[in-house]
Chain A
């Protein structure tokens, strides 16, 4: 445990943060009897989506669940945040998922040629979303394997997440039969089954990110029909009840502390309003996570965020 995080650890274990919403709408933990439960973690770029995925995974693993994170962006971050832990990470890319899919469909050696010849690219224009569908199909396959209690999907950033989720219905509209349609039907039934799939929306405690996150939530529930399990507000300054700037009058370093408190007060005001709006708009439990003062998260800090999440985050 890095020294700068020790105090967080203490705060967690003495129960100071305990006031907890947990990830499922009915307050229960996912378990094997649900089959693999799929949690889609959604949010715009830069809001802490990947960090939240790792935190959720560590939190759930600490409760004894078998957890898989599915990464879709090909970046090494998820692997770095889980190395040496019980959490498994699988990266899925559209290209390899498509190739796997064609192989499964009995296209044999032709699959590779189809995927690499450029024909698929031209045809991808006809059925936009074919790549997204095979990626979701891969997630469905993990869910059906029975090896995982919880599958956390680090979805692509907001705009692409929307097109990924709507690709299923889009394909059902234009493809009338054949293997693609069967796949779309199967993925759709997994996404719409509230016992098996749900979304977590991640945001920063600022005006525009909350607006964007609520829009994404709207698409997720209304256009796609995926239930929302929880919201996560990330990267908060760690003090909820700020003293007045006057409180530091006369102490050592007062002018700098005063400036700091004044800035923090503006941030806190914006953050409080944003969190309230997020909570009201989402209609689901909200967990709050602090910005840790570290040069990049590692396994230890990520597990710490997981414990914070499990007890409800910073209140």
Chain B
């Protein structure tokens, strides 16, 4: 397929589009633009940002930002199209997950009362990734939407989002977890946290009171493991489905391109293919006349035509340098940097047109 055909297929036929990329490449803005372009073709789209940044709200022209539930975005769309957006709030999601998976009355309140549940929801890295898979699962099964666009955190964390279901399954089966939960068989149960040497050593580092709280935290989830596991397995299937597309957003910088290549390899080792690479914010290709000499920063008071030519030369060199950098990628779609910044629906629409046509 040509890049254009790949974009058409993405916007018209897929039910999940996952946007990944290095930090600062404009991934969130690109996710919003893909969502808008699909909605303009009549899809019912929800865009969710997993990265706790306000940029999605800003790109969609929402002064008061996004919440933990999808909200409709007012914009010009064709009949039948819709655009919604939301932001992952790990704390809100954690509470929802605990409430929906609880297996006995009062369990959710107990789990939520543990001091570590709160600190984990707000501070622990992995929580965000696990909660992301929960939300994606919910959105995929929500009848209001036929396309879920997922804006992931920067590369390494994005892999963690994709891996989260596998990691959760491994964790639930891990000896240490079973030991802490007291589900590891009779021999394990006989050892209390205070006498087990590994745990005792850990206690020496962080203090035994803290360790007791962790054990209490994990035990407050007793009985929920099975439904956590089922959910993890379901999301694992979503990531690898044919109806799911992975879009890698990159920038014409060597570090970003290198990261994109590495990321594509990591994805592929997880059994996930890359559908499209978009190089964002590229120098414009305009019909430049190279300057007569070497480009030099123009001093104040230089001849205006010399200044213009030196700028043209700088631009032409930049375009060439970027082409060299992008040559390492497999037919990326090159999106020109827009003068200024994408910060409202109007500038976002222009970007959506650049992708969608």
Residues of chain A whose beta carbon lies under 8 Å from any beta carbon of chain B: 3-4, 6-8, 10-11, 16, 44-47, 50, 75, 77, 102, 105, 107, 110, 113-114, 117-120, 122-130, 157, 159, 163, 170, 174-180, 206-208, 212, 237-239, 241-244, 247-248, 251-253, 255-257, 259-261, 263-264, 266-267, 269-270, 290-291, 293-296, 314
How would you classify the secondary structure of chain B's contact residues: helix, strand, loop or mixed? helix
Contact A119 B205 (CB under 8 A): no
Residue in B119, B177, B300, B314 with the greatest tally of chain A CB atoms within 10 Å: B314
Contact A244 B304 (CB under 8 A): yes
Q: How far is the CA of A180 from the CA of B264 in the complex (A)?
A: 38
Contact A130 B307 (CB under 8 A): no
Contact A176 B209 (CB under 8 A): yes
Is B131 an interface residue, CB under 8 A from the partner? no
Report the minimal beta-carbon distance from A216 to chain B, rounded to whole angstroms.
12
Is B55 an interface residue, CB under 8 A from the partner? yes
A269: chain B residues at CB < 8 Å are 340
Residues of chain B whose beta carbon lies under 8 Å from any beta carbon of chain A: 22-25, 51-53, 55, 58, 116, 119-120, 123-126, 154, 174-177, 180, 198-199, 201-202, 204-207, 209-211, 213-214, 217-218, 251, 253-256, 284, 286-289, 294-300, 304-305, 307-312, 314-315, 317-318, 320-322, 324-325, 339-341, 343
Q: How far is the CA of A234 from the CA of B69 in the complex (A)?
A: 36
The 16 listed contacts between A and B (C-beta, < 8 Å) are A4-B294, A123-B202, A159-B53, A206-B341, A207-B343, A208-B55, A239-B311, A243-B308, A256-B288, A260-B308, A261-B308, A266-B340, A267-B340, A270-B341, A294-B321, A296-B255
Report the minimal beta-carbon distance from B210 to chain A, rounded to whole angstroms.
5
Residue in A127, A247, A269 with the greatest tally of chain B CB atoms within 10 Å: A127
A75: chain B residues at CB < 8 Å are 255
Residue in A8, A113, A239 with the greatest tally of chain B CB atoms within 10 Å: A239
B210: chain A residues at CB < 8 Å are 126-127, 174-175
Contact A4 B23 (CB under 8 A): no
Contact A253 B289 (CB under 8 A): yes
Contacting residue for A4 out of B53, B288, B317, CB 8 A: B317
Report the minimal beta-carbon distance from A154 to chain B, rounded to whole angstroms.
12
Contact B321 A122 (CB under 8 A): no
Contact A118 B286 (CB under 8 A): no
A45: chain B residues at CB < 8 Å are 22-24, 154
- Cβ-closest chain A residue relative to B28: A208
Q: How far is the CA of A115 from the CA of B180 in the complex (A)?
A: 17
Contact A256 B289 (CB under 8 A): yes
Contact A4 B295 (CB under 8 A): yes
Contact B211 A293 (CB under 8 A): no
With contacts A159-B52, A247-B308, A295-B322 taken as known, whether A46 is within 8 angstroms of B23 at the C-beta atoms is yes
Contacting residue for B198 out of A8, A114, A212, A243, CB 8 A: A114
Report the minimal beta-carbon distance from A169 to chain B, rounded to whole angstroms.
12
Q: How far is the CA of A266 from the CA of B347 in the complex (A)?
A: 13
Contact A208 B58 (CB under 8 A): yes
B176: chain A residues at CB < 8 Å are 117-119, 122
Contact B321 A295 (CB under 8 A): yes
Residue in B24, B214, B317 with the greatest tally of chain A CB atoms within 10 Å: B24
Contact B206 A293 (CB under 8 A): no
A244: chain B residues at CB < 8 Å are 304
Contact A175 B307 (CB under 8 A): no
Q: How far is the CA of A184 from the CA of B155 in the complex (A)?
A: 30
Q: How far is the CA of A247 from the CA of B299 in the complex (A)?
A: 17
Contacting residue for B116 out of A125, A159, A177, CB 8 A: A125
Residue in A50, A159, A290 with the greatest tally of chain B CB atoms within 10 Å: A159
Contact A11 B308 (CB under 8 A): no
